[in-house]
Structure 1
Amino acid sequence: MRLHSKKLKEAQFSEKLGVIRDKLYRLAFCYVKNEQEALDIVSEATYKGYLAYGRMQSMTYFDTWMSRIVINTAIDHLRRNKRMTYIEDQGKELAAPGQGATLEEKMDLYDALDRLAPEERTYIILKFFVSLSFKEMAQVLSLSENTVKTRLYRIVKKLKNDLLEGEVEHV
C-alpha cells in the first residue's frame, strides 16, 4: 500500500510540474539570462520540490510553491557565482511582447536589473516578466499584498532613477 501511495505522489508531482515547467524556466532565465544555467536551476529546484512534496498540506498552491523554490534556488545560484550575467541568446525575448523598445534600451534595462539586489529583482521579474498579480506575488513571496505593492513601487522608482541617471551620463 505504501509503495502505491509513493507512486501516486510521484505521478501527481510530475503531472503538476509538467503544467508549469515553461513558466519555471522563464522565471529562472530572467535571473541568469543563460539557457544552461536556467535549466540547472529548474533541475535543482525540481529536486528540492520533489523531496518536500510529500510534506505539502495543500496542493492548491503548488504553482506558487514551486515558483518560490525556483526563485530561492536562482538567488542562491547568483550568490554562489557572484559574477556578471550576459544575455546568451539574443533571439530569446525577455521583455513583455509588444514593447517597442530598441535593443539599446533593452540592454540598459537589463544592466539596471543586474544592479538590483537579487531580492529586489524578484519583484520586477514576478510583476513584469511573469505577469503575476499583486495577490499572486504576495503568495509566492509569503508577504502581505500591501507590503508587496510598497516594495515593488519603491524598487520601480529606484530602477527608473537608475535608468534616467544612465541616460544623463550617455548624453
Structure 2
Amino acid sequence: MVNEILFKKAVNGDKDSFIQLIEPIKEKLYKVAFVYLKNEDDALDCVHDGIIKAIKSLDTLKEPQYFNTWITRIIMNVCKDYIKKNSKVVLVDINDYEDKLISEDNKNDINYEIKTALNKLSEKERNLIVMRYLEDNSLKDIVTKTNLPLGTVKSRLNRTLIKLRKYMKEA
C-alpha cells in the first residue's frame, strides 16, 4: 500500500517523496525490465525512462493504492516500445531462473528435465510460468501485466501446467 501523504507530496512536485515511493520497488521494476530485455544496460535505461514518464504523469493517477501496479505497467510499456523500436526479439531464458527452479541435491537430473520441458512451451506459456512461479506474481499482478482477463490467465496457467507436467514425464 502506498503512503497517501507521500503520494500527494510527490504529485505536488516533492522529489524526495517520489524517491521514497520508488525506493521499496526499484529492484522489482528493474527485474521486470530485465525479463523483457535480457540486458542490464537496456533494462536500466528503460527503468530510468519509465520513472521519468511516471514523474511527468503522476497527477493522472487517481488512486494512490495502484501506484505500484501503475508504475510497473509504465516500465513494461517502455520496455515493449524499446523492443519494437530496436526490432529485438526477446525470449525468456530459463537459465536465468535455474537456481530458483531446483535445489542443489537434484540439480543435474532435474535441471535437464525442467529446461527441456520449459523449452517445449511457447513464449507466452513460458512467460506465464515465469511471472507466476519464478517471479512470484499474484494472479492479479499477471492480469495487470498481460492485460488479459482473470479467467483467461487462470485457464492458460492451468493448461500450461498440464503441458509442463506432460513434458516433464516424457523427459
Report the TM-score, using the length of structure 2 for normalisation: 0.66
Q: 2:13 pairs with 7, 18, 29, which one?
A: 7
| Alpha-carbon spacing, 1:37–1:112, altered in 2? closer, same or farther (3 Å) | farther
Give the count of matched residue pairs. Answer: 154
Q: Which of 112, 116, 137 is the aligned partner of 1:132?
A: 137
Q: Percent identity?
A: 26
By how many angstroms is 1:63 displaced? Answer: 1.2
Residue 37 to residue 110, structure 1, CA distance change in 2 (3 Å): farther
Between the two structures, name the one with larger relative contact order (CA 8 Å, sep ≥ 6): 1
- Check whether the contact 1:64–1:139 (CA below 8 A) recurs between aligned residues: yes
Q: Structure 1: how far apart are the matches of 2:11 and 2:127?
A: 36
**CA–CA distance in structure 1, aligned partners of residues 49 and 131 of structure 2:** 20
Mapped partners of 1:105, 1:150: distance in 2: 24
Task: Determine the C-alpha separation between the residues in 1 that align with 2:39 and 2:117.
Answer: 17
Q: Which residues of structure 2 form unaligned runs of 5+?
A: 1-9
Residue 57 of structure 1 pairs with residue 62 of structure 2: yes
Q: Which residue of 2 aligns with 1:145?
A: 150
Q: Which amino acid aligns with 1:68?
A: R
Opposite residue 100 of structure 2, the aligned amino acid is P
Which runs of 5 or more structure 1 residues have no equivalent in the other structure?
none
Deviations 1:61-113 (CA, angstroms, capped at 9, x unpaired):
111112222222222323333246797xx8xx534636235566676578667
Matched, 1:68 2:73: yes
In structure 1, C-alpha distance between the alignment counterparts of 2:160 and 2:69, rounded to whole Å: 22
Which aligned pairs between 1:1-171 and structure 2 lie closer than 5 A? Answer: 6-8=12-14, 10-79=15-84, 80-83=86-89, 93-95=96-98, 97=100, 99-100=102-103, 101-102=107-108, 116=123, 122-156=127-161, 160=164
Instruction: Please say which of residues 99-108 and 121-130 is displaced more in the overlay.
Output: 99-108
